[in-house]
Chains A and B, each alone.
Chain A
Amino acid sequence: MKPSAERFRKTGLISGIFAIFAVAGILVVLNMIAARHDTTFDLTSNRRFTLSEQSVQVLNGLDDRVQATSFFRETDEAFEIVKDLLDQYRDASKAFSYRSADLDKEPMLGKRFDITSDQTIVLEYGNRFRKIVNPTEHDVTNALIRLTRGDDPKRIIFTRGNGELDIDSLESGGLGFLKAALSDMNYSCESMNLMTVEAVPSDCALLAVIGPESDPVEDVVAMIRQFVTDGGRLFIALEPGKADRFRDMLADFGIHAGNDVIIDPKGFQSTIRPIIEAFEEHPVTEGFDYGLVLHEASSMQPLDPPKPGWHVMKLALTSVDSWSEAGPVADTPVFDPGLDTQGPLSVITIATASGKTAPEQRESRVLAIGDASFVSNIFFQTFAAHAPFILNACHWLADEHDLIAIPPKEIVSQPLLLQTPQLAVGLVVPVIIMPLLVALFGTVRIWTRRHHS
């Protein structure tokens, strides 16, 4: 081979390699620049793959990296949902990254975070971490707030001893899901029989009385009354016709707990399940645009005349078609103008007053609901709007203003209830007609060409 041809070949090879690297470099730089100034268009109707403004604000405020570890298996139904969610956080902030882990392959990682089952994510921030089971945007954002703030958990005491709902029960009538949700948000939840103590503990951020079956002793009522008057916070949910002493106690805070049952002709599957869609403006209902479903609820109306010193506000109202049935509820209830009260009626009411004896004059706050099952596991899980509403109420009561409730994005339900003829079309058109048309057209075309030639 001639030396000049060899030189020509070498030059060609070197310049070719150089050109390839140069073009690759230019393309990489272009992509890096684009990544810094990326624009995303969420084309879904309710922008369900876009984080809420609150979440973006929290992410923008991160001053250190957050590492999320997802303990979900690919076979889990929620795997894709959680991946989509974490993708949104990662895309919204360079400080947020995530990885997937398999408990079987990385058991030490599970031990490090004390994780024994799947369907959990862990958020690490500095030397702190938080676990979230079955995470939603609401959970992740609030966990981030907690992590970055790094404060001690606030104490929530649930009363027991009078047949209240059990905070450790995962049965449909328990409060296990509420407890888990509150614990995920760094609240410390415990149950307490108030008959065993002299006073409600002073570090109790929120006292919850959920669904007592029987009357408490008068000392317990006095204890709670004193706690609230001293600037304490009370979350009380009562079933109609039960625990009259608690009902009477509410009158001291300016709330009239009706001994009635709300009937809603347009209720959810039953007239005794009113749908609540009217809310007054309040931090608890801020940005809340969803419906709540109650089951055998009683009214919680402001006392008439009002209780001096207390400011009472109707928070959630039944529909105009509803009424409160004063007597026993018939199979097909009918409105009796003489006995019953026409809606809209308040079923969730709040009362506030200036704390009298607390040194910092802490505001007394009471939130009363005329239904306890509203908070129970079955309703908490079945109706997606219940959790953010209840958690928002707890945040407001416990003075956790910066914790926020992000309602779940509503997914448009689009079931396809196709009958056999429609399914036949779905089989014949795509599987038979379309491929056959192309095959026939091709055969005719090629045959014609051959015939002509």
Chain B
Amino acid sequence: MKAFWTIVRRDLTGYFLSPVFYALGTVFLLLTGLLFFSNLLVYTEISFSIMQNPYFSQMLNLSADFIRPLAAQFAVIFLFIIPALTMRSFAEERRSGTLELMLTYPVSDTQVILAKFCSSFLTMCLILTMTLVYPVLLFTWGTPEIAPIASAYVGLMCMAAQFIAIGIFASSVTDNQIVSALVAFGLNLVFWMIGWASPSSHGTIHDLMRFLSIIEHYEPMIKGILKITDLLYFLSVSCFFLFLTGQVLESKKWRG
């Protein structure tokens, strides 16, 4: 475990000393901040316009009409930000030649992969923590339900975990960071778009597309619904891509 934490610490230090982390953090907070403000403007406008009609004002709810769409928009930013965060995980090590050196350490491939995953996940969680200022602002102005907000954050963390696992896998197959980011982005898009056709399909294909679709599992969470199957989906896909990363590293041994 000592070796595991050493790699985590090394990678975290690498992130915090790199301008990439601060650039990503700044861009992420700028984009989410703009989304928060534009949603806030629209919500306030609607609030004023429907206050005259008691029936419609009953239908305006912070969880349903503010937090849910905002969390859905945050997820779109993840599609772009996370590949940029993970693109250097293995690609940079491979390019600089430190990957071979690291694999000679008395540490298993699994530990290396999990450490990389853990450091990227902690970094993403740190960035996400900074967005807690939005719910804090909402609580100062109104009375939103806390549980759906917590559930939405669980959803965002699950989605981040899956995208990071995919990003680490993409980073392991190439030594070019741009290619790594593009592969990760493409794979993320596949999981994003696969559910789009499911409402018009039938049978096993319909079930399979629904199961693989990240949106199908993310949407309930931003509504305030936590399902064991959704949590297991994110865990399964993340584990599968980390396992694939292990297989790529393993293949170096027999590919020579």
Contact = CB atoms under 8 A, between A and B. Distances in A.
Given A34-B232, A438-B130, A449-B17, A418 B141 contact: yes
B61 A441 contact: no
B43 A416 contact: yes
A320 interface: no
Nearest to A101: B200
Contacts of B23: 442
A87 B223 CA distance: 12
Contacts of B226: 40-41, 43
A8 B64 contact: no
Interface string A109-120: 000000000000
A34 B228 contact: yes
Contact of A43 (B34, B147, B232): B147
B5 interface: no
B37 A414 contact: no
A44 B36 contact: no
Contacts of A16: 247, 250-251
Contact of B144 (A84, A414, A445): A414
Interface string B22-54: 110111011011101100110110011011000
Contact of A12 (B36, B59, B254): B254
A76 B140 CA distance: 32
A438 B240 contact: no
A415 interface: yes
Contact of B61 (A412, A422, A427): A412
A242 interface: no
B236 A9 contact: no
Contacts of A20: 243-244, 247
A197 interface: no
B133 interface: yes
B63 A44 contact: yes
A100 interface: yes
B4 interface: no
Pick the most buried of B62, B225, B243: most chain A CB atoms within 10 A of its CB.
Answer: B225
Interface string B199-226: 1111000100001000000001001111
B117 interface: no
B33 A417 contact: no
Interface residues of B, number: 75
B64 A416 contact: no
A423 B141 CA distance: 10
A430 B147 contact: no
Given A430-B32, A449-B17, A40 B227 contact: yes
B55 A431 contact: no
B143 interface: yes
B141 A434 contact: no
A12 B253 CA distance: 9
A43 B67 CA distance: 14
A426 B148 contact: no
Given A430-B29, A442-B26, A27 B239 contact: yes
Given A30-B232, A431-B33, A439 B47 contact: no
B61 A442 contact: no
B41 A43 contact: no
Contacts of B142: 414, 416
B40 A434 contact: no
Contacts of B206: 99
B96 interface: no
A100 B162 CA distance: 28
A438 B55 contact: no
Contacts of B21: 442
Given A429-B137, A435-B29, A414 B61 contact: yes
B150 interface: yes
B78 interface: no
Contacts of A416: 40, 43-44, 47, 62, 66, 141-142
Interface in A25-71: 27, 30-31, 34-35, 38-45, 49
B243 to A, nearest CB: 5
A43 B44 contact: no
Given A430-B32, A434-B29, A449-B17, A30 B145 contact: no
Contacts of A426: 36-37, 40, 137
B98 interface: no
B227 A39 contact: yes
Nearest to A36: B229
A13 interface: yes
Contacts of A39: 227-228
Interface string B156-187: 00000000000000000000000000000000
Contact of B22 (A42, A87, A431, A442): A442
A43 B253 contact: no
Contact of A414 (B62, B228, B239): B62
15 contacts: A9-B255, A11-B254, A23-B239, A31-B236, A35-B229, A44-B145, A49-B220, A99-B202, A411-B59, A414-B142, A415-B47, A417-B51, A431-B34, A431-B37, A439-B26
Interface of B: 16-17, 19, 21-23, 25-27, 29-30, 32-34, 36-37, 40-41, 43-44, 47-48, 50-51, 55, 57-64, 66, 130, 133-134, 137, 141-145, 147-148, 150-151, 199-202, 206, 211, 220, 223-229, 232-233, 236, 239-240, 243-244, 247, 250-251, 253-256
Across the A-B interface, give the 8 residue pairs with the lowest CB-CB distance, nearest first: A442-B22, A12-B254, A430-B33, A415-B47, A43-B147, A100-B199, A431-B33, A435-B30
